[in-house]
Amino acid sequence: ILNVEQSPQSLHVQEGDSTNFTCSFPSSNFYALHWYRWETAKSPEALFVMTLNGDEKKKGRISATLNTKEGYSYLYIKGSQPEDSATYLCAQRNYGGSQGNLIFGKGTKLSVKP
């Protein structure tokens, strides 16, 4: 894998459904994996930053896992709500410190229908 890839591109679910998305990334030169939630006309909101293989993070109904050996991360949303509708971005950071920059996937656009 040479780029950060996200799937699916878009997702439509009913309120109450649980859902998950995938982020695949090059496992070489890996430093950290970021997940962001981005609503239209707003700033991307940082959800998680994960660095270690096997990391699992949770924030309310949203959780994420990381596998650096095989180069993938999953984001899970339990019991989706309409306010979860947004584009979810993952990004790989290749080296540490403030000079690090992020390599983004194209995002997964989630729509939650009431």
Q: What are phi and psi of 84, to 5 degrees?
A: -80, -10
Q: Is 13 in the site for another protein (CB under 8 A)?
A: no
Q: Is 102 in the site for another protein (CB under 8 A)?
A: yes
Min dist CB 60 to another protein, Å, is 16
Question: How far is Cα 114 from Cα 107, in angstroms, rounded to an integer?
Answer: 22
Identified binder of another protein from the candidate list 2, 52, 83, 98, rule CB under 8 A: 98
The neighbour count for residue 79, using CB atoms within 10 Å, is 11
Give residues in contact with another protein (CB under 8 A). Answer: 4, 34, 36, 41-44, 46, 49, 89, 91, 98-107
